[in-house]
Amino acid sequence: MSGAPLTLEGWYVLHDFYAVDWPRWNALTVDDQEAILLEATTVLETQTHPPDGHTACWSLLTQKGDLAFMHWRRHLEALRSEEMGLSRTRLRAYLRPTYSYLSVIELGTYELAAHAAAMLERKGTRPGTPGYDDALKSELERLARPRLFPQVPPGRYVCFYPMSKRRGEQVNWFDLPADQRAELMRGHGAIGRQYAGQVVQVISGSVGLDDWEWGVTLFADDPLVFKKLVYEMRFDPASSRYALFGPFYVGIRFAPAVLPDVMRGAVAVS
């Protein structure tokens, strides 16, 4: 049997996508629109400054939706609270859900474990010595924490898509030996590192939580980087042989305070 790799988990993640019912919205008086947006803006501003977690907003492109909200929280109860926060506003009556996705920020230990082991060895702690496993776990958590509980990256543009690994008759990712999976992911990661400083990638695991196996959220100030990065990775064996991709959503970030401008058709501004 191929051993399941150790994963570390951080923020729970909820992506929510909505389309505006524009005919009904446009039929409202300006005064009604302003009152509704003031209420919604107040809720969103509260969500973007929680005691523990983060929220961000985007204006979507294409007919897949108009508005996107992403919440990072430590517990599912907190995510549900934020989901209900918008649902209880009057604006929600003019929004039609188009897609949502539940996951948890995940970090595989393919490369991190080797790095942690090397750090321990430099400190004189080697495999087989008493307490090594606990020390390795502690070192992994120390190295991983900034990536498991990050701030929302400041990129102006976002690209989100779910994905899975193939489980077909000819190739099956989950049947591969652990060392082969690790080698493929090292090559995959090497491509991503070439885009360091241009794009920030956040991987969230969704096995047992949603319909796909992972959610990928990319943040950048140049949306063309999304195309270049994903296109290059498609030629890597980890993707070309084993990856299945879901729908792609691209948005422009905006601050909650400018929601009224976004609803009036202005270009989203952060």
Strand pairing class (7-20; 67-73): antiparallel
Q: Which of 94, 161, 195, 249 is catalytic?
A: 161
Pick from 117, 107, 118, 93: nearest CA to 20: 93
Closest CA to 264 of 79, 22, 42, 18: 22
Kindly state the tokens that stand for 73.
């929280």
Active site residue 195: no
Amino acid (one-letter) located at 241: R
**66 burial type by CB count under 10 A (0-12 exposed, 13-18 middle, 19+ buried):** buried
Task: Return all residues near 173 (Cβ < 8 A) that are at least 6 apart.
Answer: 165, 166, 167, 181, 242
Report whether 58 contacts 252 (CB < 8 A).
yes
Q: Catalytic positions, please? A: 161
